[in-house]
């Protein structure tokens, strides 16, 4: 149906999320998390697979590759969830897997990043073996590292960084060529002191330059008109200005607007403004497949 409408189909996965509760007994009797309770950790009111276990990495890859074999998908697309976002006062209790597999690493954070690297690199290799025309992309949190932690990071002061908190070294994945495209979630407005869209856009453009990895920008359409958001998001042309900025960066290949509900609902006319200003003849599909 997607292809009949001129659309690509990118199958969207969150590799390690199990449930939005912490009770394995509520899962179906045949659920892998019930059959293998040692794979699962509760954290922040949710259940997660433990990324430190090789059998978990293999299982999640097998599940995604099953979809690639069964369906004519143009890409495998991962969301921004790897190790979970920090929850105040809670600890992600992976002591057992760290004790078993983390001995050769200088600290737990390095070991966790290694686990995520393995998931990405192994998945990339398997996708290319099974379906060479299927792309592999990731939509990570929009800040890799703040420059106060790493001079090569962005000039931001975000409270979370993908490298340090989610143990996702997205810049490495780009440099290694493990992914075909990256879609950072730049879900902030122009001028936000902690994470300015106008700062992050050129930073990501610089990261992909010369790598052959395509760059698409995740846009926060869901914030448009939301009264809980700052004044910038009450302006119907905020997102259109994002695309104005992107036009000056040739590495930016397109934009993805989250979420579909807001694309259809067009809050405060923000999507209409984007279309009127930037898509007079319709958008082109990425065309990697």
pLDDT over threshold 70, residue 289: no
pLDDT over threshold 90, residue 170: yes
Confidence band (pLDDT; 50, 70, 90) for 286? Answer: confident
* Per-residue tokens: 198: 């106008």
Q: What mean pLDDT comes out for the span 154-174?
A: 98
Give the CATH class of 3-278: alpha beta
Residues forming beta bridges with residue 256, ordered by sequence position: 218
Q: What mean pLDDT comes out for the span 84-100?
A: 97
Quote the pLDDT of residue 254: 96
- 174-221 residue pLDDT tens: 999 999 999 999 999 999 999 999 999 999 999 999 999 999 999 999
227 and 260 in contact (C-beta within 8 Å)?
no
Quote the pLDDT of residue 285: 78
Other residues' Cβ atoms within 10 Å of the Cβ of residue 13: 17
pLDDT over threshold 90, residue 75: yes
Q: Which residue has 């290319």 as its token pair?
A: 128
Q: What mean pLDDT comes out for the span 269-281?
A: 96
Q: What mean pLDDT comes out for the span 158-177?
A: 98
pLDDT over threshold 80, residue 53: yes
- 235-258 residue pLDDT tens: 999 999 999 999 999 999 999 999
Quote the pLDDT of residue 287: 64
Confidence band (pLDDT; 50, 70, 90) for 173? Answer: very high
pLDDT over threshold 80, residue 49: yes
Q: Whole-model pTM?
A: 0.95
Domain boundary assignment for the chain: 3-278
**CA 289/CA 286 separation, integer angstroms:** 8
Q: What is the dihedral of CA 135, 136, 141, 142, to 10 degrees?
A: -40
Edge-to-edge strand order for the sheet containing 135-138? 10-13, 75-78, 135-138, 181-182, 214-219, 252-257
pLDDT over threshold 60, residue 232: yes
Residue % of the chain over a pLDDT of 90: 95
Q: Which residue has 């991962």 as its token pair?
A: 78
- 106-132 residue pLDDT tens: 999 999 999 999 999 999 999 999 999
């Amino acid at each position: 149906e997607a292809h009949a409408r001129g659309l690509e189909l990118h199958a969207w996965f969150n590799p390690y999320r199990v449930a939005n509760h912490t009770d394995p007994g509520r899962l179906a009797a045949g659920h892998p998390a019930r059959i293998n309770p040692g794979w699962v950790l509760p954290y922040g009111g949710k259940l997660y697979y433990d990324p430190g276990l090789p059998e978990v990495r293999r299982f999640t890859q097998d599940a995604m590759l099953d979809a690639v074999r069964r369906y004519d998908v143009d890409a495998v697309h991962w969301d921004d969830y790897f190790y979970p976002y920090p929850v105040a006062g809670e600890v992600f209790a992976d002591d057992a897997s760290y004790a078993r597999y983390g001995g050769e690493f200088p600290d737990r954070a390095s070991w966790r990043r290694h686990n995520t690297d393995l998931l990405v690199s192994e998945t990339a290799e398997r996708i290319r073996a099974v379906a060479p025309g299927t792309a592999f992309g990731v939509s990570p949190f929009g800040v890799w590292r703040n420059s106060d932690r790493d001079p090569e990071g962005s000039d931001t002061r975000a409270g979370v960084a993908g490298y340090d908190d989610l143990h996702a070294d997205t810049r490495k994945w780009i440099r290694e060529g493990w992914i075909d495209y990256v879609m950072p979630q730049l879900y902030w407005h122009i001028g936000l002191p902690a994470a300015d869209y106008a700062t992050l856009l050129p930073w990501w453009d610089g990261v992909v330059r010369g790598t052959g990895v395509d760059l698409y920008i995740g846009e926060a359409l869901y914030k448009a008109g939301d009264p809980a958001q700052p004044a910038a998001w009450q302006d119907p042309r905020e997102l259109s200005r994002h695309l104005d900025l992107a036009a000056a960066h040739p590495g930016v290949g397109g934009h993805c607007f989250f979420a579909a509900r807001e694309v259809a609902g067009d809050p405060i006319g923000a999507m209409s403004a984007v279309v009127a200003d930037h898509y007079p003849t319709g958008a082109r599909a990425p065309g990697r497949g």
